[in-house]
Amino acid sequence: MASKVKILKFRDFMGIPVIFYKTMGIEAFATQVNYGVFEAIFQFFIFHLGTWNLILIIIGEIIYLLKSFGSFANFLQITALLPCIGVCVGSVGKIMTVWSKKAQLKPILHQLENMFPRNLVEQEEFQIGTYRKHVPRVIIPCTAVSMLAVWVFNLYEFFESSINYFLKGYFRKLYPYFVWYPFDDQSNIAYPLVYLHQCYAGYVAVGSSLATDLLLCCVINQLRMHFDFISRQFLKMIPKGGRNDVRHMKQLIEHHIRILRISDEVNDVFGLSTLYIFVSSSLIICLTGFQVSAGITNRDLVKYLLFLAYQSVSVFMVCYHGDMIIDSVSNTFSKPRNE
């Protein structure tokens, strides 16, 4: 008996950024979501908790940075701190971008969801399986590298101190990030709270930046699907000189114009965050590369190699998907048609 072919849904393409944004209390981009009072309050609380916790980390890092200037012994700490500040500031900017653009972003996703092929026949015409494979081939590996980097960065000191405690009987109170605090952060009460505070900020910093990039990439994947569909339909047309030819061509042109308008709106929403990636990543990659090559300990080497991989993946995702959409747009109505 032949196996039943599963009909894919729009959510199957957007699931990963949905999960990341939910963990940060953001539902601005999700489609057709109606929360009750308790759920709305909870989302509001999570959003502000994560955002203000990250802002406090940025303030503490900047103060630590200012106090470190003038000491050559702290030069490696300074070059280690600058990339972290850059990522945190950029993440806050991306969070604010999504929050401020939610009124514009929500209709974009509603339109894409409404245009998504619903039945099996339409999905076969769109060759939707090809674009679904893009998720496990590109989106998931990039997500895995980013999450591996942030959690190794967050938990390395804790596991190192724990192993040292079991081997030598002494627990060193180390933190994953250089942050200034106006109190004794080495006390037994403060240490676990401060460590959780830094780990949460690290996750929000990477998670919000990653979620924004993934959302852009998933939207581009949808746009590419429509552009390629229009191109294939145009190539398959065999003019017969009747009204059906005019009607079909009109439908393709209207479809094309609609996708172009959505593309312009997507560029308006994500343009600022994309610009930040290219402006900041070069500096961050250079500073991280300096850390890797400056004779740091093996412990820090592992962390900064993963951090370098995370930054490289961020640039790769945006460039790769940008190149894909350019190719799809260029191929629409441009390939020679078989007469």
pLDDT confidence of residue 205: 92
Question: In which band, very low, low, confident or very high, does the pLDDT at 35 lie, cut at 50, 70 and 90?
Answer: low
Q: In angstroms, what CA-CA distances link 149 with 115, 223, 236, 307, 310?
A: 36, 30, 46, 6, 6
Contact 80, 62 (CB under 8 A): no
pLDDT confidence of residue 31: 46
pLDDT confidence of residue 32: 46
User: Average pLDDT of 136-144?
Assistant: 91
> In which residue are the tokens 């593309």 written?
263
Percent of the chain beyond pLDDT 70? Answer: 89
| Burial track 293-325 (b if 16+ CB lie within 10 A, e otherwise) | eeebeeebeebbbbbbbbbebbbebbeebeebb
> In which residue are the tokens 């390395």 written?
156
Question: In which band, very low, low, confident or very high, does the pLDDT at 339 lie, cut at 50, 70 and 90?
Answer: very low
User: Average pLDDT of 130-155?
Assistant: 91
Local structure of 28: helix, strand or coil? coil
More confident residue, 36 or 205: 205
Question: In which band, very low, low, confident or very high, does the pLDDT at 179 lie, cut at 50, 70 and 90?
Answer: very high
User: Average pLDDT of 308-325?
Assistant: 88
Mean pLDDT of the chain: 84
pLDDT confidence of residue 65: 85
pLDDT in tens, 103-113: 888 889 999 99
Q: Which of 156-160, 188-192, 257-261, 302-306 is predicted with the least confidence, judged by mean pLDDT?
A: 302-306
